[in-house]
Amino acid sequence: MIERPSGLGAQTTPAFEEEQRSWAAGSKEGRPRTGPGAGASDRTISDVPLQTVYGPADVEHLDLAGDLSWPGEYPYTRGIHPNGYRDRLWTMRHFAGFGNAKQTNERYHFLLSQGQHGLSVAFDMPTLMGYDSDAPQSRGEVGKCGVAIDSLLDMETLFDGIDMGAITTSMTINGPAAIAVAQYIAAAEKKGISRKLLGGTIQADILKEYIAQKEWIFPPRPHMRVIVDMIEFCTNEMPLWNTISVSGYHIREAGSTAAQELAFTLGDGFAYVEACMAHGMDVDSFAPRLSFFFNAHSDFFEEIAKFRAARRIYAKRMRDKYGAKNPKSWQLRFHTQTAGCSATAQQPENNIVRVAFEALSAVLGGTQSLHTNSMDEVLALPTEKSVEIALRTQQVLAYETNVTNVVDPLGGSYFVEALTDEMERQAEAYFAQVEEYGGVVEAIEAGFFQKEIAEASYRYQRSIESKDRVIVGVNAFQKEDKLDDLELLRITDEMGREQARSVQEIRAKRDGEAVKATLARLQVACRDPKDNVMPHLIDCVNAYCTEGEIVDAMVQVYGRYTERSVF
């Protein structure tokens, strides 16, 4: 008779561990997997090997106080709020933007009227890259995958009729993030709303641009200076503003594994912490307003483990390595978006189901806010109908499934705890590798992240090709699609020409002297590391300098980044 442990975390005997090993390996009694997915998929989607079953011996080393604790308690593995979603649901926030500011403003009014809590601005490619709508580089791109914002006038139109002091806004923009914040402040203040009342966040995560998303402007070092200026300014002037949203989403979309997403994102976050501290800021002055953004991919348990591990790693480092004393500085808060790269163009309605499962993993992982993708985003920008289904998916999850009743319902699961631990172990191994390069910027310059991600995405694609992994409708259960049955949202090139005319009108109407003077002062600030560029950016924006003009002025000082491509 083998002595069995009396509870989770209790000591196990060698005989019991042997019994568990034989179960887990599935070999002693012979339990090979014979059903679907036999073979390679005995691993997570990120290639983490899995056991047949998990048991007490897998979690024996976990320290209940130090590793798990309680929801709302350090190290927050089980969540940052003691009462989970029982006090407050996650924020249902849908990323939206297309065409011009007026069209997007209409969509915002629709979303708010349908019960959405906050806004999330998607900008078009020229805006993200710092080009005006009439620049030659912008041809064919204006308003296509987000809204075109050239000057303050567009930002004013975007929030027309919306009480900027009463909603929160998330802006997904990185290279020109500081300019977008300046425009947001200026637009609010023109309506008489103080910057002190503005709530929301801006992505502003430039490091992941070099790593994955590729929407950079300046080289990494001056870009970091601008970001630190922005964090410092917003920390001091905007008490309700989350200063940066460190993003793993795009790292995952670029093809990384879950562990890479976790490690590279947290690594970026720590790089910002270090940069701000090096600038002389007290860690507890800014850390409580840092937030994160993760992907929810299709491997259900792996994602939950990733979210839980993220909180634990962050809390430990913030307290022990960076010496933060305020518990708010230890708490990792994050937004989640379902994985765009898991959606398929084949049988696109199936994406509704994928999104629902991914959203569930984010909620079981304790996300603070959630964007659920629309089924047609793999083909075009979503239609109003498909956005509505995506929002309803969250509402069904929140109000019908009862998963919000109990905090961290999977805490204590042998498997989830063991996988959470494995995620942490892999992340720590990556941190060590990045340290060998001398830090995140150095590893970027050496192409380390880019190569790791390219390798992972190629392995993943190969596993689909060889059918080690089944993707419904793609390499199994295919049927002839009639894609044209799906109604798609189309942005015409006429819209782009109109926007180009509108930016030219602004240039003709404004005070040219003020434009020159504010841009010149901005350049002086860019050259002076002791100055902060933010007040100068707000001056430029108020003078109706266009985004492209402001970026050009800064490029003259900082230069433009070019990548050494690896594949």
Partner 1 sequence: MSRPLRIVVAKAGLDGHDRGAKVIARALRDAGMEVIYTGLFQSPEQIVQTAIQEDADGIGLSILSGAHMTLFPLVVEQLKAQGAGDIVFFGGGTIPAEDAEELKKAGVREIFTPGAPLQNIIDFVERECGRGRQLVG
CB of 371 to partner 1, least distance (A): 18
Whole-number minimum distance, CB 302 to partner 1, in Å? 20
The CA-based angle 371-303-458, given to 5 degrees, is: 95
Separation between Cα atoms, residue 170 and residue 92, nearest integer Å: 12
Out of 254, 262, 339, 434, name the contact with partner 1 by CB under 8 A.
Answer: 254
Quick one: which H or E segment has residue 129? helix 125-129
465 binds partner 1 (CB under 8 A): yes
Q: Using CA atoms, how far apart are residues 222 and 533, in angstroms rounded to an integer?
A: 12
User: Judged by CB under 8 A, which of 3, 435, 436, 493 binds partner 1?
Assistant: 493
| Interaction residues for partner 1, span 330-359 (CB under 8 A) | 341, 344-346
* Residue 530: CB minimum distance to partner 1, A: 33
Question: Which residues inside 405-434 make contact with partner 1, applying CB under 8 A?
Answer: none
Instruction: Please give the residues from 128 up to 167 whose contact with partner 1 meets the rule CB under 8 A.
Output: 128-129, 131, 137-141, 144-145
Pairing of strands 91-96, 369-371: parallel
Retrieve residue 35's tokens. 């059903």
In angstroms, give the least distance from the CB of 325 to partner 1. 39
Stretch that binds partner 1, among 62-70, 289-297, 376-384, 412-420 (CB under 8 A): 376-384
Residue placing its CB nearer to partner 1 in the complex, 162 or 345: 345
Indicate whether 457 belongs to the interface with partner 1 (CB under 8 A): yes
Q: Is residue 162 within 8 Å of 109, Cβ to Cβ? A: yes
Instruction: Supply 148's token pair.
Output: 């075109």
59 versus 296: smaller Cβ distance to partner 1: 296
How far apart, in whole angstroms, are the C-alpha atoms of residue 92 and residue 370? Answer: 5
Residue 200 or 496: the one with the smaller Cβ distance to partner 1 is 496
All residues at 6 or more sequence positions from 23 whose CB lies less than 8 Å from its CB, including other chains: 52, 53, 55
Q: Is residue 458 at the binding interface for partner 1, with CB under 8 A as the rule?
A: yes
- In whole angstroms, give the CA distance from residue 488 to residue 349: 13
Count of other CB atoms within 10 angstroms of residue 50: 17
Give the shortest CB-380-to-partner 1 separation in angstroms: 6
Mask for 162-201, x = binds partner 1 (CB under 8 A)? ----------------------------------------
The one among 126, 365, 382, 548 contacting partner 1 by CB under 8 A: 126
Q: Please classify residue 517 by burial: count the beta carbons closer than 10 Å to its beta carbon, then call 0-12 exposed, 13-18 middle and 19+ buried.
A: middle
CA distance 295 to 419: 17
Provide the token pair at 110: 């629709």
Q: Which of 25, 166, 483, 524 binds partner 1 (CB under 8 A)?
A: 483
Q: In the complex, what is the shortest distance from the CB of residue 483 to partner 1, in angstroms, rounded to a whole number?
A: 4
Interface with partner 1, residue 452, by CB under 8 A: no
Pick 378 or 517: Cβ nearer partner 1: 378
Q: Give the separation between CA 188 and CA 163, rounded to whole angstroms.
A: 9
Task: Give the x-and-dash track for 203-242 against partner 1 (CB under 8 A).
Answer: ------x---xxx---------------------------
| Nearer to partner 1 among residue 379 and residue 557 (C-beta) | 379
Exposed/middle/buried for residue 530 (C-beta within 10 Å: 0-12, 13-18, 19+): exposed
Q: Which of 48, 277, 454, 557 binds partner 1 (CB under 8 A)?
A: 454
DSSP states of 396-448 as a string? HHHHTS-TTSSSSTTTT-HHHHHHHHHHHHHHHHHHHHHHHHTSHHHHHHTTH
Beta strands 91-96 and 241-242, pairing class: unpaired
Instruction: Give the C-alpha separation, 252 to 358, whole Å.
Output: 14
Task: Return the number of the residue (31 or 497) whose C-beta is nearest partner 1.
Answer: 497
Closest alpha carbon to 259 in 408, 412, 457, 428: 428
Distance CA 336, CA 296 (A): 6
* Binding flags for partner 1, 523-562, as an x/- string (CB under 8 A): ---------------------------------------x
Q: What is the pairing mode between strands 290-296 and 334-338?
A: parallel
- Shortest Cβ 125–partner 1 spacing (Å): 4
Tell me phi and psi for residue 43, to 5 degrees: -130, 160
Residue 381 binds partner 1, judged by CB under 8 A:
yes
Least CB distance to partner 1 at residue 313 (A): 26
Contact with partner 1 (CB under 8 A) among 80, 186, 339, 380: 380
204 three-class SS: coil
Q: What are the residues binding partner 1 (CB under 8 A)?
A: 125-126, 128-129, 131, 137-141, 144-145, 209, 213-215, 253-255, 341, 344-346, 378-381, 454, 457-458, 461-462, 465, 471, 473-475, 483-484, 488, 491, 493, 562-563, 565, 567
